[in-house]
Amino acid sequence: MRQKPDMAPLRLSAANLENLADRAAVPAYDRAGLKAGILHFGVGNFHRAHQALYLDDLFNSGRDHDWAILGAGVRPADEDMRRALAGQDFLTTVVKQSAGESTARITGPMAGFLRPGDAAAIVDALADPAIRIVSLTITEGGYFIDPGSGRFDPTHPEIVADARQPQAPKTVFGLILAGLKQRRARGIAPFTVMSCDNLPHNGHVTREAVAGLARLSDPAFADWIIEAVAFPNGMVDRITPATGERERRVLAESFGIEDAWPVFCEDFRQWVLEDNFPAGRPALERVGVEFVADVSPYEAMKIRILNGGHAVIAYPSGLLDIHFVHEAMANPLIAAFLDRIEREEIIPVVPPVPGVDLHAYYRRVVERFANPKIGDTVRRLCLDGSNRQPKFILPTVADRLREGRPIAGLALEVALWCRYCFGVTESGAAIAPNDPNWGRLQAAARAARADPMAWLAMEDIFGEVGRSNVFRAAFAEALKALWRDGTEAVLRRYVEAPGTPGNGQS
């Protein structure tokens, strides 16, 4: 439903759905008939604006009501979300925002939400034959990946703890292992494990984490997982900012709905999946999910052009005290910085995607970034660079270095990240910690002001890129220029410099 202002807010609940139907689209199916077929770890905004919305579409079509979602989690924030959703009967208001209009719908594909920390209840649910898919939205940093090697890190303290006490799991992967072990003992076919996170080859990464943890205590079980459990790769895409008081207020004022944790998102969405679900799956192809033999080209396109583009605009915007992403895109220097890096350095090394014009895809990305209705924040884009840079930026750098192509723009992006982690904007305002490894990053950034190599010395993050003499020289030059001349002057020099012939200009 479109905006209908001047309504007294009505609390979101199952009892109020009929009265809310003139304010937002409501489920067209009987939620009492839903049965959980998917257990999902990480019930956050993105999941509710993406996977849950596709399922809501499918249920509205009258199909597959035995594929409802049972929520689960392991972190304190998961309990906050569980309480909020339980208080409104596991309903969510999703507000879709294009530049020209906003529409709201109430979704209801969730059948319940297990209490985080109740490992016994979660493992029992995982062992239930009705659960045929276990899906994950646990962020890029939740997979225990060593950034330098890009491989599963078996030495992480949380992984070591689960390996020592597999009967009392605390991590997502420990819980998945316990559920698989019970199913195997009872002769129940394994569930499919489906990652919905922004990771290259996210299915393979998830398999490596699950089997890698198993191998620490039961190598034979790890071998069985590799052989018997499916981990389809997938690409997911929808810009979904965090929820705050602004979003709650807009929902109440514009639609007359009181929702403890609404979701605001853009009008674009995409989901590309490998069709590898031996235990069965919902008919998601009927609601726009693309099933393909190889997701890799789609992953590379999205992660490098969109997520990499987010990283490009994030740090100069943060240093210039810009709050919203659409405001960053309205800044001519930042918009030009993004455009030049995308066209000259990122897109030329993105593998071709069947039926997709990469430059047209990039133009659509620019429109999405510039959407003023989304309210996405620069700080969100700057978050967790220690996990995101090795996935979104450094692989492109590595490809260009191997091919002998220029990397001046990408080296400047990394220098801007370093300058941001120093912890002070160009105006002198303090930057609050914005990374799980903030203390380490800030120490390295402060040392790098005098010695730029102190930043690249974080071998677990930079790996081969940090050892490249070409990259080291370009990074050092960029960082010194940022400290000497300031962000705006350095950006201006970069965007006004002559282009490199034959290097992706258009």
Q: Output the six-digit token pair for 242.
A: 């965090």
Task: Note the pLDDT of residue 289.
Answer: 98
pLDDT(500) > 90? no
- Give CA separation, 194 vs 75, 135, 148, 405, in Å: 19, 5, 25, 36
Please report where in the chains the tokens 């990469």 appear, as a residue.
358
pLDDT(504) > 90? no
Note the pLDDT tens digit of each residue in 311-365.
999 999 999 999 999 999 999 999 999 999 999 999 999 999 999 999 999 999 9
Task: Note the pLDDT of residue 284.
Answer: 98
Q: How confident is the model at residue 506 (pLDDT cuts 50, 70, 90)?
A: very low
Task: Note the pLDDT of residue 297.
Answer: 95
In order of start, what are the domains of the chain with their CATH numbers?
10-292 (3.40.50.720), 296-496 (1.10.1040.10)
pLDDT(502) > 60? no
Q: How confident is the model at residue 501 (pLDDT cuts 50, 70, 90)?
A: very low
| Mean pLDDT confidence for 471-480 | 98
User: Cβ neighbours of residue 355 under 8 Å, at least 6 residues apart?
Assistant: none
pLDDT(218) > 50? yes
pLDDT(433) > 70? yes
Quote the distance between the C-alpha of residue 297 and its chain's center: 18
3-state secondary structure string across 140-163: HHHHCEECCCCEECCCCHHHHHHH
Note the pLDDT tens digit of each residue in 146-163.
876 778 999 999 999 999
- Give CA separation, 225 vs 234, 236, 276, 372, in Å: 19, 25, 15, 46
Cβ 97 vs Cβ 265: under 8 Å: yes
Task: Note the pLDDT of residue 170.
Answer: 94
Helix (H, G, I), strand (E, B) or coil at 470: helix
Q: Residue 497 and residue 198: Cα distance in Å, rounded?
A: 33
Cβ 84 vs Cβ 248: under 8 Å: no
Note the pLDDT tens digit of each residue in 371-409.
998 889 999 999 999 999 999 999 999 999 999 999 999
Cβ 376 vs Cβ 324: under 8 Å: yes
| Mean pLDDT confidence for 127-134 | 98
**Average pLDDT of the residues of the chain:** 95
- Runs of H (alpha helix) within 274-357: 296-301, 308-319, 325-329, 332-341
| Mean pLDDT confidence for 45-52 | 98
